[in-house]
Amino acid sequence: MKNSQLLTKIFGSCRKPLLAISLGCVFIISNTSSAQEPVRIAFMDPLSGTFASIGNTGKTILEFAADYFYNSKGGILGGRMIEIVPLDNKQSPTETQLQFRRAISDDLHIIFQGNSSAVASTLSQTISRHNRRNPEQEVLQINYSAVDPILTEDNCSFWHFRFDAHANMKLDILTDFIAADEDIKSMYIIGQDYSFGQVVSDTTTRLLNEKRPDIEIVGNEFHPIGQVKDFTPYVTKIVSSGADAVITGNFGADMVSLARSIIDSGLDIPIYTFYAAYDGITATLGESGKDRIRLVHNGVANPLPTEARKQFNRDFKIAHPNSDVTQPRIVNALQMVVTAMEKTQSTDPYAIALALEDMRFTTMGGEEIWMRGEDHQIFQQLSVSVHTDEGVEFDADNSGFGLVTEYQVPMEETILESSCQMRRPRR
């Protein structure tokens, strides 16, 4: 963290501006190069604690993208730099509240947040409440990763934009892919016992019933999140159920442990997942998971579609050899937000929100994506990719393994109806 920031925070809260300035001038020399005030964007995700690696990767990508596309090219809005302000919410709803107040205190009005739907919905509620009570001081939530459908359906908010496909959209694609596989006659669903796990379970059951009524759901299991030492007992049940495939929404250590236990038991069936790559997972699965683990995600994996996209990955890798571009949607989100700023020549969240509605934008991957105005949900192409080491130009965790896209669905085919009835603020 930069020292000038640190000092202004300390002294800013002490109401001793003179002292702060006199002490702070030492550092200002090195830090204030441009005369214009930067555009400050908050990045709120876990930066310490158990889930920190995901949050830190996201932060790195966002910072890199801001420098890569804008700051190195003279900034935005006529020469203003983008400054990313990290806020550590430890992936806890309570801490999110605290950090939100810090954001308000620091005059931050655009918050990027992605991890955990529980956090996202807390933040969305908090922001709605805050914006209602403090007109002219509104805050915008840029959700780049939380996939609980409810955020753009029943609980949709004018101040919330989602730049990732939600779970039902992803499952729609994933079940299409599964349905196309004639060998699969039975399916085992296992997931963490919380809202996303339940969404995966309910939706999979419903969709498979529609698409392939002959596929039998031979198991539908929930386990407590982050508390299972050993998944072998669960795998025993999977084996004895005779399932032809497993689908899970697990993430983090629960994902790795489950996959490892399935592989160790000698069970040779495909595993369909959401979060089984990067942040050490790809490296840990390694050879044993090859050609067996498939993920549904937005955009495409290897081969990357355009040279611009490839170049971005290469340049990122040079700057951060130990990280990967895990979530290109962060880049899309930033680019769209900046486009909205440029279009309105403003950093006012209300103006940006209006400009984002129904925006169509061409990503560096060359595809056109659409932010639907009625529920603030992004639509873009979705893919199913496999964990392998063949044909992997850009690997994950420097392991030689990575994702290769097997199945792609264009944006138009991913569109689902929404039950959102948005309360729009009046100005």
Partner 1 sequence: MLEVLIFATLNGLVTGFLLFMLASGLTLIFSMMGVLNFAHASFYMLGAYFAYSLSLYFGFWTGLIFAPIVVGVLGAMVERYGLRRVHQSGHVAELVFTFGLAFLIEESIQFFWGRDTKNYQTPELLDFPLFTLLGQEFSAYRGFMMTISIGIFIGLYYVLTKSRVGIIIQAAITHPQTVSNLGHNVPLIFMGVFGMGTALAGLAGVIAGPVLTTFPGMATVLGSIVFVIVVIGGLGSLAGAFIASLLIGLLQSYAIASDVGMPDLLNLLGVSFERGHPLNDLWTMNLPQIAPVLPYLLLVLVLIFRPTGLMGKREE
Partner 2 sequence: MALLKNSSIWIAFLVTLLGLPLVFDSILAISIMNQIAIAIVFALSYNMLLGQGGMLSFGHAVYFGLGGFLSVHALILIEFETMVFSILWIPLIGGVFGLLAGVFIGSFSTHKAGTVFAMISLGIGELIAASSLIFSSFFGGEAGISGDRTFGPTFFGFDFAQNIEIYYVAAVWAFIATVFMYLFTQTPAGRMANAVRDNPERAEFVGYSSRKVRFISFCASGLFAGIAGGLFALNYEFITEENLNAATSGRVLLMAYIGGLGYFIGPIIGAVVLTLMNSLLSNYSELWMLYLGIMFLLTVMFLPRGFAGFFMMHQLAWIRGNMKMLIKPYIITGIPAVLFAVCVIALIEMSHTEDEVFHYLALELNPASPITWIVLLGIAGGAFYAVKRSLLQLNDAWETANAIPKEEEA
Which of 21, 22, 28, 30: binder of partner 2 (CB under 8 A)?
30
Using CB under 8 A as the binding criterion, the count of chain residues that bind partner 2 stands at 47
Which of 47, 142, 304, 356: binder of partner 2 (CB under 8 A)?
47
The CB-of-305 to partner 2 minimum distance in angstroms stands at 30
Q: Which of residues 104-123 bind partner 1 (CB under 8 A)?
A: none
CA distance 355 to 358: 8
The answer to the question of residue 52 lying near partner 2 (CB under 8 A) is yes
Q: Which of residues 32-91 bind partner 1 (CB under 8 A)?
A: 50-53
Which of helix, strand or coil describes residue 27?
A: helix
The CB-of-98 to partner 2 minimum distance in angstroms stands at 6
* Segment near partner 1 (CB under 8 A); pick from 3-11, 31-39, 152-160, 255-263: 255-263
Q: How far is CA 68 from CA 315, 400, 409, in A?
A: 9, 26, 29
Closer to partner 2 at the Cβ: 323 or 385?
323
Which of 73, 229, 423, 426: binder of partner 1 (CB under 8 A)?
229
As given in the structure block, the two tokens for residue 367 are 């595809």
Under 8 Å between Cβ of 383 and 301: yes
The answer to the question of residue 32 lying near partner 2 (CB under 8 A) is no
Q: Could you tell me how far CA 408 lies from the centroid of its own chain? A: 19
Task: For Cα atoms 95, 101, 102, give the angle at the middle one, nearest 5 degrees.
Answer: 90
42-57 core/surface letters (b: 16 or more CB in 10 A; e: else): bbbbbbeeebbbbbbb
Which of 179, 225, 283, 416: binder of partner 2 (CB under 8 A)?
225
**If contact means CB under 5 to 8 A according to the sort of partner, which of partner 1, partner 2, none does residue 373 touch?**
none
Which of 158, 192, 397, 405: binder of partner 1 (CB under 8 A)?
397
CA dihedral sign of residues 75, 379, 198, 218: negative
The answer to the question of residue 226 lying near partner 1 (CB under 8 A) is yes
Tell me the HSE value of 148 on the side-chain side, using a 13 A CA sphere: 20
Q: Which of residues 262-291 bind partner 1 (CB under 8 A)?
A: 264-267, 279-281, 283-284, 286
At 37, give phi and psi (nearest 5°).
Answer: -65, 135
Q: Which of residues 160-219 bind partner 2 (CB under 8 A)?
A: 193-195
* Parallel, antiparallel or unpaired: strands 160-162 and 368-372: unpaired
The answer to the question of residue 224 lying near partner 1 (CB under 8 A) is yes
The CB-of-416 to partner 2 minimum distance in angstroms stands at 22
DSSP symbols for 285-346? HGGGGTTTEEEEEES--BSPS-HHHHHHHHHHHHH-TT-----HHHHHHHHHHHHHHHHHT-
The answer to the question of residue 71 lying near partner 2 (CB under 8 A) is no
Q: Could you tell me how far CA 307 lies from the centroid of its own chain? A: 23
CA distance 250 to 259: 10
Which of 8, 57, 71, 92: binder of partner 2 (CB under 8 A)?
92
Collect all residues with Cβ–Cβ distance below 8 Å to 329 and sequence separation of at least 6.
Answer: 144, 145, 163, 164, 298, 299, 378
Interaction site with partner 2 (CB under 8 A)? 1-3, 6, 9-10, 12-15, 26-27, 30, 47-49, 52, 56, 86-88, 90, 92-94, 97-98, 101-102, 104-106, 116-118, 121-122, 125-126, 129, 133, 193-195, 224-225, 320
Interaction site with partner 1 (CB under 8 A)? 50-53, 193, 221-224, 226-230, 232-234, 236-237, 239-240, 252-253, 256-257, 260-261, 264-267, 279-281, 283-284, 286, 397, 399
